[in-house]
Amino acid sequence: MEVYTNMESECIVSAWGGLVNIVALFISVFALLFIIFSFWWMNWRRGKIIVGLPRSFAATSKSEDDLLIVQLPLVFYNDGAASQVIQNLRLTLAQNGNRSAILYFNNTVRDLVNVQNREWARQFAVEGRKSYSSVFVFQRKPGNFIFHKGKCQAILEGKLNNDKNWKAILTFDLQISAKSIKTINSGQLIPYDNDPDIERENG
């Protein structure tokens, strides 16, 4: 049977005590870091801006040399904790190998049907874990673009916060049906359904 002297016992107790202190210090530091991280995550974290696909739209263009207008009801969602600012937006269309001129964010309207009470384009903030919605109007003359039946790709770009560079934030399709071709290329600005399921059902 192994017998420890008093000095050896004191050394063992001291070693165990030191180990316990180290473990306690590690747990305390970990808990503090977890609290700081949780506070940052809940209050300061900058997330991503998520833009929902537009369920409908309005667009028109008489000719490549004429005014090209696209109106989109868009919802911007900020999935982070910190607020973010959308400084500017722009839109580009592409279909059948043709690409439009860049359409500038010009104004907003209350809905696609009523174009009264237009408000000039301006920056807007999206608070943390909240959304911002409006009908955004993009236009350019000349637009260098004519619509054709089928899918028309739209690329939405934005300048976020203090970033000076444009960033693609949403790429989606506008559903151009055979029924809408005449009106959409006639200069009449009327709303259209942008549900791809309905377009497939209609052939």
Task: Name which CATH class applies to 49-201.
Answer: mainly beta
Phi/psi class of residue 53: alpha, beta or left (left: φ > 0; alpha: ψ in -120 to 50)? Answer: beta
pTM, 2 dp: 0.81
Phi/psi class of residue 141: alpha, beta or left (left: φ > 0; alpha: ψ in -120 to 50)? Answer: beta
Per-residue pLDDT of the chain (203 residues; tens, 9 = 90+): 454 455 545 555 555 656 667 777 777 777 677 766 665 556 667 889 999 999 999 999 988 889 999 999 999 999 998 999 999 999 999 999 999 999 999 999 988 887 778 999 999 999 999 999 999 999 999 999 999 999 999 999 999 999 999 999 999 999 999 999 989 999 899 999 999 887 554 54
φ/ψ of residue 127, rounded to 5: -65, 160
- Whole-angstrom distance, CA of residue 107 vs CA of residue 52: 19
- Whole-angstrom distance, CA of residue 153 vs CA of residue 81: 32
With contact defined as beta carbons under 8 Å apart, do 51 and 156 qualify?
yes
